[in-house]
Structure 1
Amino acid sequence: MDLLTDLFSHYGLVAVALAVLLEQLGAPLPSTPVLLLAGVASAERDGFAVQSFLVATLAALLANGLWFWAGRRLGRRVLATLCRISISPDSCVRQNEASFARRGVLTLVIAKFVPGLSILAPPLAGALGMPARRFLGWNLLGSALWAGVSVAAGRVFHAQIDALLNVLSRLGSLALAGAGIVVLVYLGWRLWRRALVRRELTRFERLGPAEALALRDGRGDIVFVDVRACSPEMPLASRIPGARHLDLGALGDTALAGWPPAGEFITYCACPNDASAVRAAQWLKAQGRQARVLRGGIEAWTQAGLALENS
């Protein structure tokens, strides 16, 4: 405890600021342990808990504000970039969009407590057109709640955390090796799962925008299916003409009520590797329907200069 207290007496606030800033900017370095340690150190230093809370909140606001601005300026391109460096790149946008669709602005309050949601929520809010003032207010609430809970947990359980640190210190290199093995096994499993998902996605049949348009013009039973997440607070601005919307968060017996009983569906989304569109097409096939995927989604359709309509 003495070493920890001495360390945080000199560099504590700097460590908190850098850890939070780097994590919220996208570095794979969790900052919650640093906030817990700040809470532990605060047991010996009056006012340090409040200082750590304020520094962590401000650092998170700065990083999140930069990502919100990037999402507003660059749209889904910044989301695709973030997802490519994610361990689960093909589902991260869909999961975050679904969270916004279900919870709206409350997503910003819970984002930092949900792995994978923290880094994507600010740029997604910008890409979806959330007003800046509204984003700042709800993000401030979420950042303060996360920082406060983390520092408070360290303060409340400082004795237990200190005892654990002493045990790890006595174990020395054995504890470090064990932790390294656990991390490597976890990363290996996630990367293996990523490879399986990517292989499944690439095998699914796709149509280019021109092919899909020609097929629809040549037949009368082609239905485009938009599977992008939306909500009353964040509606979709435009869609492929005549497209129906399918909510991936509410798939069930009534999801296709009122839809054509026959014909072929072409699903599309706005996510890396058409992940959401493939999932929807797989579900439609499981319901006995014919389904293929629009390669490149709504962005490829737009880049091809094809018509859109207001949603």
Structure 2
Amino acid sequence: MGHILDGILRLPAALALTLVFLLPALEASAFVGVIIPGEIGVILGGVLANQHKLPLLAVGLAGVAGAVIGDSIGYWVGLRYGAALLSKIPNRVLKPEHITAAEDSIRRFGGKSVFIGRFTAALRALIPGLAGMSRLPYPRFLAWNALGGLLWAVGFTVLGYLAGSQYARIEHYANYLGLALLVLIAVALIVRHRRRSRKKGASPPVPR
């Protein structure tokens, strides 16, 4: 894998940027994420931006577009062909426990499972298709998909940019970093919610 990653970093800028888009896009639409996590391409795009070979904004936009478009395709594939496709993928490639975990997530959290799954490598390639199979309304899917794709792609782009030549450490722990990013987002949302609740609950000053 190390030789492959180094080879990607030596690609022409345009081709490397295409991979930043394609790896997240193919993750759920073609189940490529079962083998190669999509954040690899986004992290390497950030590294290339650090090396001034790609614009940082272009990397972020390509990563977001790939994540959102790829998951949307995965949703429609699951809606129409999901059961037939899952039955043809060998268990050694697609573990049954991962399918069960993704199905449980959709049952428990509904649209929020799309957001949560974006930050978990084992679920990210499966949840869009299973959401389609479960007939989750597409507008709800798209809203959570767009939010998750935006935060995920921007987060890993920035991580790759900050890591620079130390990208291998980031890549090795990418799944844990994704979970940590999800926790940080959740904490930020909880803090924001509590602040708003305190402001609404605060009594107005008594006029004198």
Q: TM-score, normalised by structure 2?
A: 0.65
Report SS of the residue matched to 2:96: coil
1:156 aligned residue (162, 181, 185) = 162
Between Structure 1 and Structure 2, whose CA radius of gyration is higher? 1
Report SS of the residue matched to 2:124: coil
1:18 aligned residue (19, 22, 26) = 22
- Taking the aligned partners of 1:119 and 1:8, their CA distance within structure 2 comes to 28
Q: Amino acid of the residue matched to residue 162 of structure 2?
A: V
1:37 aligned residue (40, 44, 49) = 44
* 2:74 alignment counterpart: 67
Structure whose residues are more often helix by fraction: 2
* 1:174 alignment counterpart: none
Q: Superposed, which structure 2 residues align to 1:115-264 within 5 Å?
A: 115-161=121-167
Q: TM-score, normalised by structure 1?
A: 0.45
Unaligned runs of 5+ in 2: 1-6, 171-208
Runs of 4+ in structure 1 displaced over 4 angstroms? 3-6
Describe the superposition over 1:152-180 as per-residue Cα deviations: whole angstroms up to 9, x where unpaired: 1011121533899xxxxxxxxxxxxxxxx
- Percent identical: 26
Q: Amino acid of the residue matched to residue 54 of structure 1?
A: L
Offset at residue 13 of structure 1 (A): 0.9
Report SS of the residue matched to 1:109: helix
- Taking the aligned partners of 1:53 and 1:86, their CA distance within structure 2 comes to 33
Aligned partners of 2:8 and 2:16 also within 8 Å: no
Aligned partners of 2:46 and 2:160 also within 8 Å: yes
Q: Amino acid of the residue matched to residue 33 of structure 1?
A: I
- Taking the aligned partners of 1:89 and 1:162, their CA distance within structure 2 comes to 26
Over the aligned positions, Cα root-mean-square deviation in angstroms equals 2.9
Tell me the matched-pair count: 161
Q: Amino acid of the residue matched to residue 31 of structure 2?
A: G
- Taking the aligned partners of 1:88 and 1:10, their CA distance within structure 2 comes to 32
Specify whether residues 110 and 59 from structure 1 end up closer, same or farther in structure 2 by C-alpha distance, changes over 3 A only.
same
Which structure ranks higher in relative contact order (CA pairs < 8 Å, sequence separation ≥ 6)?
2
Q: Amino acid of the residue matched to residue 114 of structure 1?
A: T
1:50 aligned residue (50, 54, 57) = 57
Offset at residue 7 of structure 1 (A): 3.5
